[in-house]
Structure 1
Amino acid sequence: MGKRVTISPLSISSMFIELLYDDISLGSGSAFYLKNNNRLYLISNWHNYSGRNPKTRKPIHKECAIPNKVKVYSYNETDQGFAIEEKVYDLLDNNEISTWYEHCELGSKVDVAALPINDEDLGDVIDIERAIELVDPYDSETIKISDSLFILGYPFGLRVNDSLPIWKSATVASEPEIDCGSVPMFYIDTATKAGMSGAPVIMYRKRAIPIFGDGKSSVYHAEFIGIYSGRVIPRDLIEVQLGKVWKKSCLPSVLNGSKYSYFA
């Protein structure tokens, strides 16, 4: 009988994605599912789905190619456990309008995008909120500056067992309740790499939970904090490496946002 393998629901909730032009791979990134009002969304960065720099709107790819599809590698729940599944979704409709949504007011100034998923054959996926509940059903906590966080992503496309992410540690580097540059974002201190954009950022730490009659027991506390969207690029290797986290509070404005026109 083989050894029982235990995988964190948080690892299963993070998805490796490939950005495609038809069948040509243009790059990779990270994403995660989120359920809202009984609808499923694939959350990632604006720059991943658009293939453009969110500030300049210029194509990121060296040959100016723009993705029109996204391939998602995910673990789906089955009667036998979990199975890796690949799905491909359109990022553009026939009129070159995005199938995904950007922030309703700030557009690409918030580097977060939401792709609605209507695939009835997708199966029972583990979205980020369900993963949090499976790890820790207790009340949430407020993060503070200097707190430790984790980014669950795919640096340089590195995957464990074809789909599981790398947990990259980070420290809250700016006051998390203060918006940076008038947008819902804060900084983290971490040395991240390409391919992690779009990854969920979580708090994950031990805390004591009172147990009636038995004193206290240590359990893991988990909380979804936001979406990682890349580094503040240093001018040389001596400078501090900072990353950007978009707060989860921006998600309602993205889910209820507008679509992006590639001719705008």
Structure 2
Amino acid sequence: MIEPILLTAARISTYSQSSLLTNASGFFFERDERLYLVTSRHVLFSKNSKHYPDRIEIELHINAENIAESTGFSIPLYRDGKSLWRHGTDAAGVIDVAAIEIDRKALPKTAVYRAFSPKHLLGSLTQVEVGSSLLIVGFPLGFHDALHHTPVVRHAIIASSFGLRFQGEGFFLTDARTHRGSSGAPVIMRIAEPLPAHGDLPWMLLGIHSSRFDVGTRDLIEDEALGLNGAWYADILLKLTERPV
């Protein structure tokens, strides 16, 4: 039996028409019977890197008895020239998180996945301390179990005061070994006392992994990379998944 947490993550391939552009990570989030794919905004659109995909494709498991069976599922990013994905902004600027709704009726009837929900977001009574142990579930450099189509997990710790906006922006720091392709991966922490509402996912969704940090003055020979990363606070998903008025 595969651990349910591994079924929350999806390997994303971005395309411009039929041309493969990049690989990234994402995860499923559901709210009010609606299903979303969440990833980093720069996976779907980036002026800095001139990255303009028009669709993405994810791998879906389609046989609960044989996890090695999968299929590709294509998701368009635009319709009539308008983006189908949503992202947020705050006083500091653009938040590097995007969510796109998935038509459940279009999914294979035998699709096997797990999704986080608002119940997996941080509650007001939950305390998260600096140095707390975390996991990042994703596809670094596209690496994964190619037979069973499952992600890998990297260990991390919280490296800045959780709840404070690091340098005034809506993310916190993690200390973890990450790579390209991990963008959009869920950053999670084990729930000490899970409730029935958490189902078979006793994990708290704390953030969405975005990118690595470095210091411009670092000596590339003498100094190792910082190994620090930005993770955007997951409560932005409550805004991105609101039903349009």
TM over 0.5: yes
Per the alignment, residue 222 of structure 1 pairs with 203
Identity level (%): 23
Task: Give the aligned residue type for 1:8.
Answer: E
Deviation of 1:68 after TM superposition, in Å, equals: 0.4
Distance in 2 (CA, whole Å) between partners of 1:254 and 1:247 is: 12
Distance in 2 (CA, whole Å) between partners of 1:104 and 1:163 is: 33
Determine helix, strand or coil for the equivalent of 1:120: helix
Distance in 2 (CA, whole Å) between partners of 1:119 and 1:92 is: 18
Tell me which of 6, 28, 36 is aligned to 1:33.
28
In the TM superposition, what are the counterparts of 1:125-144 in structure 2 within 5 Å? 125-129=112-116, 141-144=126-129
Per the alignment, residue 38 of structure 2 pairs with 43
CA gap of 1:171–1:65, structure 2 versus 1, over 3 A, is closer
Task: Give the aligned residue type for 2:113.
Answer: I
Q: State the superposition RMSD in angstroms.
A: 2.9
In structure 1, stretches of 5+ residues that fail to align are: 1-5, 134-139, 210-219, 259-264
Whether contact under 8 Å (2:40, 2:184) holds in the other structure is yes
Task: Give the TM-score normalised by the residue count of structure 2.
Answer: 0.81
Whether contact under 8 Å (2:141, 2:179) holds in the other structure is yes
Moved over 6 A (4+): none
Distance in 2 (CA, whole Å) between partners of 1:69 and 1:159 is: 22
Per the alignment, residue 147 of structure 1 pairs with 132
Deviation of 1:92 after TM superposition, in Å, equals: 1.7
Tell me which of 78, 100, 107 is aligned to 1:115.
100
Residues 173-229 of structure 1: CA deviation (Å, up to 9, x unaligned): 001111123332100011210000001111137x589xxxxxxxxxx9522212111
Deviation of 1:107 after TM superposition, in Å, equals: 9.5
Tell me which of 9, 18, 24 is aligned to 1:23.
18
Determine helix, strand or coil for the equivalent of 2:166: coil
Whether contact under 8 Å (2:8, 2:115) holds in the other structure is yes
Tell me which of 25, 49, 52 is aligned to 1:66.
52
Task: Give the aligned residue type for 1:152.
Answer: V
Distance in 2 (CA, whole Å) between partners of 1:109 and 1:98 is: 16
CA gap of 1:146–1:69, structure 2 versus 1, over 3 A, is same
Determine helix, strand or coil for the equivalent of 2:44: helix
Residue 8 of structure 2 is aligned to residue 13 of structure 1:
yes
Distance in 2 (CA, whole Å) between partners of 1:142 and 1:91 is: 37
In structure 2, stretches of 5+ residues that fail to align are: 195-200
Distance in 2 (CA, whole Å) between partners of 1:257 and 1:159 is: 34
Deviation of 1:74 after TM superposition, in Å, equals: 2.4
Whether contact under 8 Å (2:87, 2:99) holds in the other structure is yes
Residue 222 of structure 2 is aligned to residue 241 of structure 1:
no
